[in-house]
Amino acid sequence: MHEALATYVELFSRLHRNSNKAKGAAPHKPVLLLAILHELDSGRIRSNLVALTPELVAAFQTHWQALVPPDSGWQPKLTYPFRYLQRDGFWTLVKNGQPAIVATRYEPTLSQLAALCDGGRFAEELWALLQDAPTREILRQQLLGTYFAGTLPTVSEEANVSYLTAQAEALKQQATARFKLHPTVREQASDGYFVRSRLFPKVVKELYGFSCCVCQAAARLGSSSLIDGAHILPFAEFHNDDPRNGLALCKNHHWGFDTGAWSLTDSYEILTSPRLLNDLVYIEPGKPIALPKDPTCLPDPKALAWHRENILR
């Protein structure tokens, strides 16, 4: 075995893990590493900066379900291993290209951790090794043999897609409940909440047919799109990811909506600010917007009223 690979096989076999008398050693770090190996196999991780994404959360959750007994007593929280893997000598948290120290007195949620760091970076030598599929398989088998008695998990791409689809459906189900207008003091700590908040733009854009509800622009270039999934009530204040709090907007009309250049009436007609200048081509007052395909996900009138009263200038 190559000397460098042997070094990391050894490091992978003696991960520093929290231990509990009743529950034993925590499985979080090996599960995270297996999830990252899966994402490398899929091609979704392409650079040496592993970000907190819905897809990584899905891979972590599906590997956990396949490997960790339900009665283990441990909870599948991704923040723990993502934050503390840097104690093992081959992983560093990064913010703006520089090593980041997350020194909070509380255990951050995934959203908070994502704000405190841009992601995790492997040691360059290990990253180079991880580019080789057979090497990844050696490391995968080492993790399975060391921490899970060689158990081969039945984790497929379909399982990850199923997890993300379930979270997207849970997001849409919010539209069947009473709309929440009051600001949320703090966000939920569950990994599922993080995934749903990150899926909000995709769900909203899908509801509007991936086109701007004002001008019907729908330009795309590869995975990049002109269209945003915009919040009516600002997420930072309300933490509201109900689809009824969303609009699909091109970047031009997203700018105008967030800055108060225009808003909507309760009948979904465009209402412009008297202070808006040079708007002849930009937007047409009184014009109705295109509405989402699902009538249960129409923009909520309470959210629109709040926007008119607090944002429209």
Q: What is the mean pLDDT of residues 1-14?
A: 90
What is the predicted pLDDT for the residue at 294?
Answer: 92
Domain map (residue ranges) of the chain = 3-155, 160-310
Using CA atoms, how far apart are residues 280 and 128, in angstroms rounded to an integer?
Answer: 54
Q: Which residues contact 91 (CB under 8 A, 6 or more apart)?
A: 85, 120, 121, 122, 123
Q: Which residues contact 135 (CB under 8 A, 6 or more apart)?
A: 5, 129
**pTM confidence score:** 0.84
Q: pLDDT, tens digit, for every residue of 197-216?
A: 899 999 999 999 999 999 99
Answer for the pair 12, 142: CB distance below 8 angstroms, yes or no: yes
What is the predicted pLDDT for the residue at 97?
Answer: 92
Helix axes of 28-42 and 133-147: crossing angle, nearest 10 degrees? 160
Give the pLDDT band (50/70/90) at residue 149.
Answer: confident
> To the nearest whole number, what is the mean pLDDT of the chain?
92
